[in-house]
Structure formats: C-alpha cells, structure tokens
Structure 1
Amino acid sequence: MLLLHGGGRTRGDWDVFAGLLSESGFRPVTMDLRGHGESGEAPWSWKEALADVAAVVDEVGLRRPVIVGHSLGGMVAALWAGEHPECPLAVNLDGHGNPTRPGQFFGLDEAAAARACQEMTSFLGEMGQGLSESFLQVMREIDALDLFSAYRAARCPLLVVSGDGTAFAGMFPEHLASAWEAYCAWLHHALKAAVRESPSVREASLSTGHDPHLEDPEALLRLLVGHLSRHNQAEWSG
C-alpha cells in the first residue's frame, strides 16, 4: 500500500497509520511528493507527480499496490486510478480542493453564488500571501484540476473519503461561513452524482476533520480493509 501525503506535509504524516497497516499484514510504503520533504524542489505538475509515483512503485518492486493519498496526495491517487486499471484500489482522503466557480455553491441563487465565489476566492488569495511560489504553483494546479472528470475517468476501484467539512468553518470569517456550507453541500451532491454515473467510484465519510489518518487511523483502517475485502470478493465471483 503506497501512501501519499497532503500539500505542505511529508511522508512522516503516515507513521502511525503505517504501523497499523504493518500489524494488519500489509506492506506500507511512503514517499515524499515532489517539492516536499526530502524530495527536493521541483516544478509541480500532475503528469510529473504521477511519474514520480510510478518510479517509486518500480524502484521498490511493488506489484499492483493500493494507492492511498491524503488531500493533495488524494488527488494524485484519483488521477492514478484513471491510468492504472490493474490497481486494486485508489483512495482519495478528503482531497476536494477549493471552490473556484459559482456553480459550486449548492442552494444559492445565481447572484448569491457569484458573490460567494468572489468573496471566497479573495479570502483564499489573502491566505496564500507569504506562501512560497512553489506552493502557490501547487495551489494553481489544484484549482485548475477538474477532479470530478478524473473520478468519472477512473479505470480501477476509486474510493473518495470525506471528513466533516464543517470542521473548516472556523477558519473563515463569519460572513463566509454560509458560503463554505453551500460548497460542502455541493461536494456532497457532486460525489453522489459521480457514484451514480461511474461503476468504479464509491464514496464514504468519517466523523473526522481533514486528517482522518491522523485523527482516527483505526477507523480509516477498518474502512479500507472493508472496501478491499468487498472488491476481492467481487473479483473472485467474477
């Protein structure tokens, strides 16, 4: 099982969860994504990030590994699912990105959605001030990614796991709290639609915030083992 960390994090994020995997009979492998940890600075692109993952898979001698990614790493895992039909399971842990267009604010009328998008984009831009240019490049790539198209393009089982999005509400000023809630509602409905439209996609939720592998690693392990068991049973039946 290859574990991919989130943006601004390192492979050390997985230490506790990797220990649980080892105790359960899995072989966990972690890596630092490009521009993170010990991987050194490198321009970010999804294509190159996927090539890095493939290089680690080959170098370590993994055969059909499960790919589990958190946040940024979860988006990489989702893209991996579109290129590797042999993968037994790809998992995106709460890697949903940020709202980038008015249509992502569920339940708001056109004018309110446009205003919410503008204000949210402005606030997130202010939060990004002071970040390194390399990290800002990662954020621009995230904003440009059509993640739900990637879900629908999955060629292997893909599990999208969401934490409790309202856990983020406290980071926004009061006037943006309802906008964030509308975005979380949109994510919920969009995921349900992706599951209906693609036989490869499944979604699940955990009662954690953004970091299920850190907040409740045991629950995450149970979730992943359950999905792998169901997939193996279905493959055997087929």
Structure 2
Amino acid sequence: MADTTHPRPSWRDRVIDSSGVPIAARDFGGEGTPVVLVHGLGGTLEDWAAVAPRLTARHRVIATDLRNSGHSGDGPWEWGAVLGDIEAVVAEFGAEEPAVVGASLGGMVAVLWGERHPQCPGVANLDGHPVLGAGRRHPGMAPERAAEQRERLGALFSAMEEQRASPLGPADAGALAEAARSSARRLGASEDAFAASVYRSLTAADGAGRRFARPLREPLARIRRAMEGLDLFAAYERTGARTLAVLATEDTPGQEEFADLMAAHRRGVGDALADLARERPRLRAARLAAGHAVLAERPADVARLVLDFLAGDDG
C-alpha cells in the first residue's frame, strides 16, 4: 500500500548557480535546525518524499538534486565541487549551519561534509558504504571468490554505463516508470514518488526528440571512479562532526547473484563501524532491517533515527 500518512506540503523549488552548474533544490519547509537531504546514485530529490515531511516538525528541510542528476546541470564530479554545490544551496536558502543527511552516494557526501564542517549539528550516512574500491572489507569470504564477484559486479556497472549512451525509445520512459511503480508496490512505498523520481531523472528531449537517463554515461563513470577511490573509513576517522552511520542489514532484490559478496560486505562494514564507534564517541553506528532502498522501505524508521540523532539521543 502506498504511504499516504504525510500528504505533500507546499514545496518551494529553486535552481541555484554553483560555479556555473545549475543545482535544483526543494524547500520542504519546517522550522528549527536546517537539514539538507542528499539522494543516492541514479536518484533525485523526489526520493525523500516520504521522509522529508516527517522531519519538518523539528527542522527546516531542504533537498537537492546532485549535479548530473534530476533537474540539476552537468558538471565534473569532484567531491569538493559537490560540497560546494551544497554550500551554494545552503547560502541561497539562508540555512546556516545545517545538518546533512544522505542516502547511499549522498551518505558519502554527508560524511565528507562533516569533515569540512566539523561544527555542523551532525551528518548522517544512510547505507552509503561502497562495495568496490578503497577500504573494502569482505570478511568470512574466500579471497578468490570475493575477487571473482567484485569483477562481475564491476562488469555489470560498466554495462550499465554503456546503456546510458543510448537514447530511450518512445515507450521506454513509461516502461521505466511502471517498473518503478512495481518496485514501490513490492516495498510498500509510494508509487507516485517512485515514478516522479524516474521522470525527474530523464533529460529533456533533444532536437531529434530523444531522451536519456541521467546520470549520462561519462558522468556516471566519473562518479563510479570517485566512489571506488574514496576511503570512507579514513573520512570517518578524520571528521570532527557528530556522525550517524546506518547500515542496512537485508538483501536487496535483484542482487541474488552477489549475495555472498553483499553479506560479507555488510559483516565487514558492521564490524568496522562498531570498532570505530567504540573509539570515537562522536560516531553513532546503527543498523536498520531493510535493503539498500532504506528511504522507500522504512521511511518512518529513517526519520526516527535522524530525529533522535539530531536531538542528541545517541543511546
């Protein structure tokens, strides 16, 4: 059943120039400490539709489309530039000293925000721990098996990048939206929000009437390289900001062929976060019984975790 607990509020959308890259943002309203919400790879600010209204009773809530995504413009993917985009959004809305909450890729951005802004009220990373790349941890899995599954997963990502080079056919956008609706029904999430995120992810038709899914091939490849080159645990150790790190503990549909790798990844991340939390009192590690799509699967629990964390309830 679609989530209808929180009807859509009166939103204010705006496009901000950040070093020549237009950045789209949405003000969900609310009062209190500002919170900026950052979506994951392939998503848009629509992904926060079920979570944002649950935060507005205590916080001024703003969501943004990352560069190369949604209604934002294209630009080089560099972590510093992305943080600059958020700073431009914060300045435009007058949201001084915000907390930053991100899911997946957005969670990595949030951790880096905390490193740059240690005085902020806090940052939260919702299951944004790369499976591939620097600092990977896959305990309990034979190294050869882990390497083989990582190689196959990398090949799958490469194939997805190549698909982004091809325009969508006349019926493809509708098919993508219907697939999103089907996923939403399976998760008990809002079908409209899922479909809205799909349509927001498409480029406008070009002179030949073609549309493409964003991020486009080259930006997607750059984002992937940046993710694989990011040692997130080193960033956790460097940041001085209060940090909430949430680990989703369940399998995600469609990843069955990588089940061993994902399970080992979760074990490694969970153990590393627990160790780090014992050493660093400003880091809170939490687990959530959900797959990677935590915003859709468990919006009420995500909101509760974030609200408790920002209220200082770190127990």
TM-score (norm 2): 0.67
CA distance in 1, matches of 2:55, 2:79: 27
Q: Provide the secondary structure at the position in 2 that maps to 1:37.
A: coil
Shift of 1:103: 6.3
Maintained 8 Å contact 2:104/2:126: yes
Alpha carbons of 1:201 and 1:37: their partners in 2 closer, same or farther (altered >3 Å)? Answer: same
* TM-score normalised by length of structure 1: 0.87
Q: Distance in 2 between matches of 1:103 and 1:32?
A: 27
Query: Please, which of 1, 12, 15 is the counterpart of residue 49 of structure 2?
Result: 15
Per-residue deviation, residues 98-130 of structure 1 (Å, max 9, x unmatched): 13379622024xxx2144124322333234314
Partner of 2:70: 37
Q: 1:170 to 1:198 in 2, by over 3 A?
A: same
Inter-partner Cα distance in structure 2 for 1:223 and 1:73: 17
2:255 to 171, 184, 190: 171
- Contact residue 103 and residue 113 of structure 1 kept, 8 A: no
Change (3 A) 1:20 1:179: closer
How far the C-alpha of 1:19 sits from its partner, in A, is 1.6
Aligned to 1:236: none
Distance 1:220 1:160 in 2: 12
In structure 2, how many angstroms separate the alpha carbons of the residues matched to 1:81 and 1:178? Answer: 32
Residues 175-190 of structure 1: matches in 2 within 5 Å?
176-190=258-272
Q: What does 1:1-238 correspond to in 2, within 5 Å?
A: 1-22=35-56, 24-100=57-133, 104-108=137-141, 112-131=142-161, 132-164=217-249, 166-168=250-252, 170-173=254-257, 176-230=258-312
Cα–Cα, structure 1 residues 179 and 221, in superposed 2: closer, same or farther, change >3 Å? closer
* TM superposition shift of 1:171: 1.2
- CA-CA distance at 1:14 after TM superposition: 1.0
Q: Secondary structure at the match of 2:150?
A: helix
> Does structure 1 conserve the Cα–Cα contact (< 8 Å) formed by 2:251 and 2:262?
no
Q: 1:179 to 1:12 in 2, by over 3 A?
A: closer
How far apart in 2 are the matches of 1:114 and 1:36? Answer: 36
* CA pair 116-48 structure 1, distance change in 2 beyond 3 A: same
Task: Name the residue aligned to 2:166.
Answer: none
Which one has a larger percent strand, Structure 1 or Structure 2?
Answer: 2
Change (3 A) 1:163 1:180: closer
Matching residue's letter, 1:198: R
Q: Which moved more, 1:139-148 or 1:120-129?
A: 120-129
Higher helix share: 1
CA drift of 1:44 comes to 0.6
The whole-number CA distance in structure 1 between the counterparts of 2:150 and 2:42 is 21
* Whole-angstrom distance in 2 between the partners of 1:141 and 1:42: 14
Q: 1:169 to 1:50 in 2, by over 3 A?
A: same
Between Structure 1 and Structure 2, how many residues are aligned?
Answer: 226
Unaligned 5+ segments in structure 1 are 234-238
Q: Is the 8 A contact 1:90 1:159 kept in 2?
A: yes
Residue 161 of structure 1 aligns to a residue whose secondary structure is: strand
% identity of equivalent residues: 35
Q: If you compute each CA radius of gyration, which structure gives the higher value, 1 or 2?
A: 2
Cα deviation 1:181-207 (Å, max 9, x = unaligned): 222211111111221232321111111
User: Deviating runs (4+, > 6 A) in structure 1?
Assistant: none
Alpha-carbon distance in structure 2 between the residues aligned to 1:25 and 1:159:
18
Q: Conserved in 2, the CA contact under 8 Å of 1:99 and 1:121?
A: no
Q: Which runs of 5+ in 2 are unaligned?
A: 1-34, 162-216
Bigger drift between 198-207 and 79-88 goes to 198-207
The answer to whether the 8 Å contact 1:81/1:154 transfers is yes
Residues 169, 11 of structure 1: alpha-carbon distance in 2 compared, 3 angstrom cutoff: closer
8 A Cα contact 1:7 1:73, kept in partner? yes
Cα distance in 1, alignment partners of residues 135 and 108 from structure 2: 22
Amino acid at match of 1:217: P
Q: C-alpha root-mean-square deviation of aligned residues, in Å?
A: 2.1
